[in-house]
Amino acid sequence: MNAEIIEKMKTMKFYGMLRAFRSNLESGAMNNLTTDEMVAHLIEEEWDDRYNRKIARILLNAKFRYKASIEQMYFEAERGMDKNLVMRLADGSFIENKENILITGSTGIGKSYLASALGQQACTLGYRVMYLNASKLFAKLKMAKADNSYITEIAKMERQQLIILDDFGIQPLDAQSRSMFMEIIEDRHGKASTLITSQVPVSKWYEVIGEVTIADAIMDRLIHNAHRIELKGESLRKTLKNKTDNQSEINN
């Protein structure tokens, strides 16, 4: 009878329930549970398993640059990192409110890490997230224009509750990239959240975008409901390397 039940669970893909059922059979825990308790336990295990698989799928689809977490952030005051703000953003309310986040600072200061940490936190809350390198995105969209897959690519972005555009402003936008950027921001305005990281101060994004009218339209949609984080100080990568080198000298 148990073997038949196990096979039916496999067929129905009740993997969480299956593991719990097997575990309880092996441990004899079933003997200590009422029927209601056993049913509740099996359903809870199945629920947890499906939720965990959903989160894993969301994280995989987001394609983050690297693994990051809020718990591993460095919140030194001199870096301009407001812990209270970051923790508020980590609860996902900015996504619910369709708000944006703009993170700026010099290279190596931790912009991409913070963006990835917030993005991965959003994934664990069940939000659909997509991580994109800005330069690679525009190059990919240009190729999509050529092979008629542009609408499909844009539609993928529209379905995301949060998109992260990393390293924006490395180079000025040409006319085609500018038009694509305008379309992306216009589609998301008031409907979904966008997080952008850049080495370039927000005040100079007009120059990066080019063409005053379009730049004004884009910036107006980005800034008016945005949380802004301006990171300061020396390169975090350089600081961590110096600490590692100093520790090595002490150990030697």
Co-location of 79 and 183 in the same domain: yes
Percent of all residues in the chain with a pLDDT value above 70, rounded to a whole number: 92
Domain boundary (15, 42, 61) is at 61
* Residue 241 predicted with pLDDT over 60: no
Are 136 and 234 found together in one domain?
yes
Q: What is the pLDDT of residues 121-173, one digit of tens each?
A: 999 999 999 999 999 999 999 999 999 999 999 999 999 999 999 999 999 99
Expressed as residue numbers, the domain containing 147 is 64-239
Token pair, residue 150, equals 């542009």
Average pLDDT over residues 76-89: 85
134 vs 31: CA distance, rounded Å = 58
Tell whether 168 is covered by a domain: yes
Average pLDDT over residues 68-79: 81
Residues 229 and 115 in one domain: yes
Last residue of a domain, one of 20, 41, 61: 61
Same domain, 109 and 88: yes
Residues 228, 177, single domain; the answer is: yes
Q: Are residues 147 and 35 in the same domain?
A: no
Nearest Cα to 92, choosing from 128, 125, 60, 129? Answer: 125
Residues of 1-24 as b/e, b for ≥16 C-beta within 10 angstroms?
A: eeeeeeeebeeeebebbbebbeeb
Q: What is the mean pLDDT of residues 97-102?
A: 97
Sheet of 129-133, strand order? 129-133, 162-168, 193-198, 100-104, 226-230
| Domains in the chain, number | 2
Looking at 10, 29, 61, which one is the last position of a domain?
61
Please give the average per-residue pLDDT across 56-67, as a whole number.
83
- pLDDT at residue 248 tops 70: no
Strand partners, 229: 103
Q: Are residue 34 and residue 48 in the same domain, yes or no?
A: yes
pLDDT at 150: 95
What's the CA gap between 140 and 66, in Å, rounded? 20
Q: Per the confidence metrics, is the pTM higher than 0.85?
A: no
